[in-house]
Each structure stands twice: as structure tokens, then as C-alpha cells.
Structure 1
Amino acid sequence: MSKPLKQIHLAAHFPGVNNTTVWSDPRAGSHIEFSSFAHFARTAERARFDFLFLAEGLRLREQDGKIYDLDVVGRPDTFTVLAALAAVTEHLGLTGTINSTFNEPYEVARQFASLDHLSGGRAAWNVVTSWDAFTGENFRRGGFLPQEERYSRAKEFLATANELFDSWHGDEIVADPATGTFLRDAKAGAFVHHGRHFDIHGRFNVPRSPQGRPVVFQAGDSDEGREFAASSADAIFSRYSTLEAGRSFYADVKRRLAAYGRRPDQLLILPAATFVLGDTDEEAEEAAREVRRAQVSGATAIKHLEFVWNRDLSAYDPDGPLPDIDPLPGENTIARGRAQVRMYRDPLTTAREWRELAAAHDWSIRDLVINTGNRQSFVGSPATVAREIDAFVQADASDGFILVPHITPGGLDAFADTVVPLLQERGVYRTEYEGTTLRDHLGLAHPDAGAAAERAAS
């Protein structure tokens, strides 16, 4: 008997200003005006996507002590944007990245519970940690935590937030016109948490929301991150966009669930994916080459090389050869606030490999950055892209994709109009929303209020 077809989950990431987005394209719009967010969200909802996703930067990035004006993080506050989008959408999930290193559980739990109420049960939280002291300078606590401490705090942060969500058990509210009393149970919202990172007690002032708790996403790729996702998350982002690497990551994370009493279908794996469409595969390939060159200007190429060399390379010609000097070892002081720096943990080895590649292909600095950077995940005609997405999911390399267009805000339009109908024809993608909450869209169970009450009581 043949295996039943898996249903594909699709979501959309609003990329903001970065080197993914081609801002030189005349179709590019604002990354801060609400009309851009509204257009993007409405397109995603028209295509029956599960959710829209916003990342968040907590400090302006710097390069050699100056604001990195090729890639400025200047987006409005995540919660403000998502709350506004709740008013112009009806079904689309609203996912925000909120840091567990520099925030506090009560405040974050209150914000997400409020968003879940305002949206009718469509809120989701991407739980992340912060890895550098540079970002920490913006916050009272300052500094940064070693990796093991970051995940320890994140785990307790999420557990504490869940205690707050669960402090309302679902049946406490009762109206008594005679006395004006609205609480049947004086313990409603009461919480006590004594832990290593948080020691708080009081009363949570937001009643239990439609989903009980927001959907929880996690994005770590380290062993600690994978364990955190297996123990606590509803979905995990993945950076693996090739079939072999995707299947390996998928199998590894799914096998970890059993240790926490969870089934494989209780955690979704959703890689980020870029795409370029054309009327034919050849047309799309040519367009993809043009997009990559637009994403990596000469100035961008030099800045990217500085991530590895940890030196000022502004005197080098981006259309010339790679530097013959070696990277400076130790803490990166050239590029600050950029997660990409962590990708190159052995700069000397990376530099040697890049020189070998450049020599073998006669690449300039810009050619190298273009060809070693992230290529588009899916390139081709709508039929080709639909077929490849379906094959990826059916092969258990993912449960779906978070699409990252290179044009904002209209970059999803062609995908919604051409690829989605083909996936629907294949019978692997919804034609209508079948539920009202994000948990319904993702096929995730709602937390049981009774079990939550028992946990809170204990």
C-alpha cells in the first residue's frame, strides 16, 4: 500500500533590509511603512499560508566601527506590527521573534497572550537567544551568556512563560451582577516560580487565550538547540535547503522527540527557502544569476569578506583577487552584530578553501562571494518549483518551507498565483483554511486546560 501524501506547510518571511532583498529593483518598496506589511500578509493569506514570520534585530549592525548602511536593521517593533496585521487578516498566523536573553517572562507572556486574544488564536513565538556582548550593551543587564547558559535561561524562560499562560485554567471567569465579582476562583492567574534564572510570584493579568499558549518556534542548529526544540518547540526552523542535508537534519531532530514522550508529528521542520520563477526553467536560471549579482554589489562583497578576515579590506578591488594576507584570529571586531560571523569559526581554514576555489575558477572577490553565498533554493518554472517542493516534503526532508522573497512587498505575488494552484492540483496543499487558529493550520493539538490546571496546582 502506498504511503499517503504529506500535506505541505507554507509560510512567508518578511525579509526587511538585508542582502537577500534586492532594493535596487524598481518594484522594491518600504520595509517600514505598514502598507508593505499589509500587502505581504494579504498575499500570504490569499495563498492559504500557515503564517507570516518576522525576525528581529536588537541593535544596528556595525562594520569597522560604523553603521553598516548596506544592511541596516531599522524595522518597527515586532509586536506592534503583528498586532496591526491581526486587524487586516482573518486566518494567517502571526509569528514574531522575541529574545529570551534580554527580556523577562512576565512581559513576553503578557504580550503573546494579548496578541493571541486580538488575533483570535493566531500568535506564535520564535524563541531565540542572543550570542554577543555587542547586542547586550543596549540592555541593562549587558554582557552576554555562554552558549550553555543561553539555552539554560531560554528553557527556564519558556517554562516560566508556560506557567503564566496556564495560570488561568479556562473556567474561572463568571459574572455576578449582584456583587460585580468576575472571579469564581481566587487563584485565577496566580503563579509562583523559583528557579535559577527567574524568581517571581504574583498574578498573571491576561486570561487564557484561544490557543492556550502561542505556537512555539525555535531556530537553533547546535546540539543544544536541537534538544531544546525536541523538548519544547512546536516547530523548528532549518537552514538546510538540499535534499540530503535536509533529510539528515529531519531524521536527527525527529528521533529526539521520543525521549520527551513526543510523537514525530508534534514537531514540524520548516527550512527557509528562496526562489526565482520564470516562464521556463532557462529563463528562471538567467533571472537567478541576475538576482545573485544584484544581491552582492562590490561593496557588499568586500564587507562579506571582512566577516572572515576580521580586517579592514576597503582598499581591495572587489573585481580583483582575494587578499594574500591571512585573517586575524580571535574575537571579530570588524563586523559586529552579525550572525554570519559565527558561521566562520575557523577563519584560516575558510580563507585557504576560498583561495583554492578562486584559483580553480578564476574568481574575483565578488565572484567568490556570489558563488559561495546562499543560492536560491528553488529556481524554475512554476511547474518545476511545485514539483521540487513536493518532492522535498514527500522525501521527509522537511514538512514545508518558509519562503523568503527577494522583493518586498510584492515578491510573493507570483508564487501565490502560479505555484500554489499547482500544489493544490497535486492534492498536497489546502484549498481553504479548515480551522481558525494557527494550531489548526499546523495540525497541532491545543494545550489541554485541565492538564494545565493540574500542573499549576502542583
Structure 2
Amino acid sequence: MKQVILAAHFPGVNNQTVWSDPAAGSQIDFSSFVHLARTAERGRFDFFFLADGQRLREQRGRIHDLDVVGRPDSLTVLAGLAAVTDHLGLAGTINATFNEPYELARKLATLDHLSGGRAAWNVVTSSDAFTGENFRRGGYLDHSERYARAAEFVRTVRELWDSWTAEDLVADPATGFFSSANAGEFAHHGEFFDIEGRFNVPRAPQGHPLTIQAGDSGEGREFAAAHADAIFSRHGTLEDGKAFYRDVKARVVANGRSPDSLKVLPGVTFALGDTDAEAQENADHIRRQQVSPQTAILLLEQVWNRDLSSYDPEGPLPEIDPLVSEETISRGRTRLTRDPLETAARWRALAEEKRLGIRDLIIEVTGRQSFIGSPATVAEQINAFVQQDAADGFILVPHLTPTGLDGFVDEVVPLLQERGVLRTEYGTTTLRGHLGLEGGA
């Protein structure tokens, strides 16, 4: 049987996180990161995952409460966690649009050394000029160029990591100089980067820290198939997961790689209960916490592209149509839909059919817990996805910080271990080793 890969996503700033719950803690205090990471390691997870954001997002020119908790620097947090964990992989989201290859290659190689081979990089891109205003060169890239720059960025970073070999670390005892005159030497002359010199971090324990890519678009899938070790996706049903899995694995083979060289890891949520019925009640309660009246209006505005602050969250949808424009009411966010008029028509039909007000409609259409049930039911669901090739594993996104993973580790993990699909002890030392990827030890 296939082994289930598990990663823990620190909840952070998103619509899944509930900070109104009395059990919710700090999103920025280091103890919160430590608690979640140690819980994941106790559950023998493969890695810990941090998202990122480069600017406070705005709606109607104002900051919404979902964003005020802030986004600490991922690599700084992960370096701290390297000192308080022993086996858990450490993955950070770093933007390839707003960074430079030499600087990032150095930081990731350093994290790999500090952690003994547990570093990973989630590559993301941006064509968002609003976010780019935070950066000295504007940070703006045309949408058509962002993946091209990212592809060259990844290639350049790997050239830097490969600039050291094992032989380069051996010094001549007579002279004290390294025996190789080429240690760390690199030269890259491309469309986006023109750099040369000597890389000053010796080869990392993993050689190449793990590369993850998040994106469901055709461009994103092709980028992952060519460059990534894992792809972070979102698919709510078994059949959708199978279709995505087949498509991505075929692209990997077309790029001359083994299908096992890319791991498919959907991001998922969960709700547990002593029984399936109780779990469903818990899931419904969580969704109402996640979609407050204010959040319901905020999400509706992102589709309508209008100020809807005067509307009753418990009342009907606006009779006016969405405003279709390149200028959006929301800045720094990914658009909820590419066709707002079609979406509005579909939502109106659903609201009429089920007699839903704005808040209940938003709860209905913007997502739900991926796995809902007793620990036995959730363990069965997770294992079925993996064994039927709808995924290689999952990145779990709890709704509470920092204790949201505790119940899963205490109640679901032992059942997966009993099935023989999740390790009971770590048998490898690097993240590549955990995932069975080339170069792992």
C-alpha cells in the first residue's frame, strides 16, 4: 500500500482561520509555531508548511480584520523551528517575483544546513502591481512573464546549489587552499538574470532543498511538472482529485521525469466528532465562525466589485449586477471568479432554490471541511484518496491556532498507523528521504 504523506499548514491569514474562537491563540507568537510544529512531529508528519503574503490586502481602501494579524517572515520562523524539532520538514512560501536567485539560494541552503536536510521552498509568483509597490523596483511583471521568470529563477537557484561538489570541501593540507579552484563558481546569463561569482554556502545536505509549487492553472501544472518535487492543489471530490492526479503525472512523464518524482498534495480541512453526526454539527459550527456577517459581505464584494456595506448579511443578494472592470474593489487578493456575471447568475439561482440569504449563500459556495466524520471515518477517507490515486497525501489546514491539529494527531494518526500507511517512527533524516524522492537519506 502507498504511504500517506502528511504536512501541517500553519493557519495564518486566510478565510479558514477562526480567531474569534476562545481557544484561538496568537498568529505571530513563536510559541504558536512551536506548538503546531511539535504536534505535527509527534504525529510523524512529513513537513510543516508556512504560507506568505507580501502586503496587507485592502478592500475599499481599508484593511479587513482577516489581515491585521500580520505575516512574519517565513524563513526566519523556520530557522527557529529547526532548533526545536528533529525530523519534521520545514517548508516556506517564497515569492519568485519579489526576490533574487542568489539571495534566496543562500537562505534556503543555510536553512537546509541548520536543519540537517529538512528545508523546502514553495515557489509562488505574482503579477500584482499593488503588491509590487512594496518593492524597490516596483515588483511588477506582466502576467505572461511571471512563470517564465519563475522557471529561470528555479534553474538559477539550482545552478548555485550545484556550484559546490563534495570534492570542493577538501582543502590541500600543504597550502590551506581548497583543492578545487572552481568551488562555488557560477555564471548565469539569461533573459531575466545575468549574474556570476562564487556561491558562499557549501552544498546543502539535500543537494537541492525540496521545491513545491502551488497552482491549478495549466501554466501552474506545467511549471510543477517541469520543476517541482510536490504540487499543492485544491480538489474537493475523489473524482476531481483523480483527474488532477492523472493530468499532472502525465505532464511529469512528458517532461522526462518519473511520475513518482512529483508528489500531489491537496490542501484540506477537517472536522472531527465522536460520531459522524457530531462531526457534521462541528463542521457547520466552524463554517459559521469562519464566515462572519462582515466576512460574508467582504467575499460578496469581491465578486460584485461594488461597495455592499449597506446590505444586510442575512438578507437577499443585490439586485444589481456585478461591476465588470479591470479595477477591482479588492487589492492584493486572488479573484474569486473569472466571470462575475456568470457567478452572480448561478448564485442567485442557488439562493432562490435553497432560500438562502447572503451569509448562508457564502457559507454554501466558498468551501467546507474536506473531511468530516469520526476519527475512523476520516482515516478511511484519507486513505481512500491516496490508495485510489487521487493524491499522494495532504497538507492539513486546521481552523485554530495553534491547537487545531491536536485532535487529528491524537485520534486519526493512530488509525492510519494501524493500517500501515503512516510511519510510527522516522526512518530517514531528510525531507527528501521522508518523501522517497531522489537524493533523500
Q: Report if TM-score (shorter chain) is over 0.5.
A: yes
Say if 2:265 is the partner of 1:270: yes
TM-superposed deviation, 1:220: 1.6
Q: Which residue of 2 aligns with 1:362?
A: 355
Aligned equivalents of 1:147 and 1:270: distance in 2?
A: 25
Which one is further off, 62-71 or 184-193? Answer: 62-71
Q: How does 1:55-454 map to 2 (within 5 A)?
A: 55-72=51-68, 74-142=70-138, 144-176=140-172, 178-181=174-177, 183-339=178-334, 341=335, 343-446=336-439
TM-superposed deviation, 1:177: 5.2
Say if 2:40 is the partner of 1:48: no
Which one is further off, 85-94 or 15-24? Answer: 15-24
TM-superposed deviation, 1:447: 8.2
Aligned equivalents of 1:347 and 1:144: distance in 2?
A: 25
Deviations 1:389-443 (A, max 9, x none): 0011111000000000011100111100110000011111111111000000011
TM-superposed deviation, 1:176: 4.6
**Could you tell me which amino acid in structure 2 is paired with residue 184 of structure 1?**
S
**Could you tell me which amino acid in structure 2 is paired with residue 263 of structure 1?**
S
**Could you tell me which amino acid in structure 2 is paired with residue 46 of structure 1?**
R
TM-superposed deviation, 1:73: 5.7
Q: Which residue of 2 aligns with 1:453?
A: none
Aligned equivalents of 1:141 and 1:160: distance in 2?
A: 20
Deviations 1:245-270 (A, max 9, x none): 10000000001112221111111000
SS at 1:171 equivalent: helix
Answer yes or no: is the 8 Å Cα contact 2:430–2:440 preserved in 1.
no
SS at 1:16 equivalent: coil
Aligned equivalents of 1:41 and 1:335: distance in 2?
A: 33
TM-superposed deviation, 1:178: 5.0
Unaligned runs of 5+ in 2: none
**Could you tell me which amino acid in structure 2 is paired with residue 372 of structure 1?**
V
**Root-mean-square deviation (Å):** 1.3
Deviations 1:140-191 (A, max 9, x none): 221532333101000000000000000001221224555433x111110000
TM-superposed deviation, 1:72: 3.2
TM-superposed deviation, 1:76: 1.2
Answer yes or no: is the 8 Å Cα contact 1:135–1:337 preserved in 2.
yes
**Could you tell me which amino acid in structure 1 is paired with residue 226 of structure 2?**
S
SS at 1:69 equivalent: coil
After TM superposition, the score normalised by the length of structure 1 is 0.94
Aligned equivalents of 1:17 and 1:407: distance in 2?
A: 11
Q: Which residue of 1 aligns with 2:13?
A: 17
**Could you tell me which amino acid in structure 1 is paired with residue 286 of structure 2?**
V
TM-superposed deviation, 1:70: 3.0
Aligned equivalents of 2:41 and 2:299: distance in 1?
A: 35
Q: Which residue of 2 aligns with 1:37?
A: 33
Answer yes or no: is the 8 Å Cα contact 2:207–2:439 preserved in 1.
yes
Aligned equivalents of 1:428 and 1:447: distance in 2?
A: 19
**Could you tell me which amino acid in structure 1 is paired with residue 25 of structure 2?**
G
Deviations 1:296-328 (A, max 9, x none): 111100000000011100000000000001111
Aligned equivalents of 2:2 and 2:175: distance in 1?
A: 54
Which one is further off, 323-332 or 378-387? Answer: 323-332
Answer yes or no: is the 8 Å Cα contact 1:60–1:73 preserved in 2.
no
Aligned equivalents of 2:139 and 2:75: distance in 1?
A: 25
SS at 2:404 equivalent: helix
Aligned equivalents of 2:127 and 2:357: distance in 1?
A: 32
Q: Which residue of 2 aligns with 1:454?
A: none
TM-superposed deviation, 1:208: 0.1
TM-superposed deviation, 1:43: 0.3
Deviations 1:123-154 (A, max 9, x none): 00001101311101111221532333101000
Q: Check 1:413–1:447 CA distance in 2 against 1; reply closer, same or farther (3 A cut).
A: closer
SS at 2:309 equivalent: coil
Deviations 1:40-99 (A, max 9, x none): 000000000000000100000101001122333612111100000000000000000001
Unaligned runs of 5+ in 1: 449-458
**Could you tell me which amino acid in structure 2 is paired with residue 356 of structure 1?**
A
Aligned equivalents of 1:385 and 1:275: distance in 2?
A: 8
**Could you tell me which amino acid in structure 1 is paired with residue 119 of structure 2?**
A
After TM superposition, the score normalised by the length of structure 2 is 0.98
Answer yes or no: is the 8 Å Cα contact 2:5–2:46 preserved in 1.
yes
Q: Percent identity?
A: 69
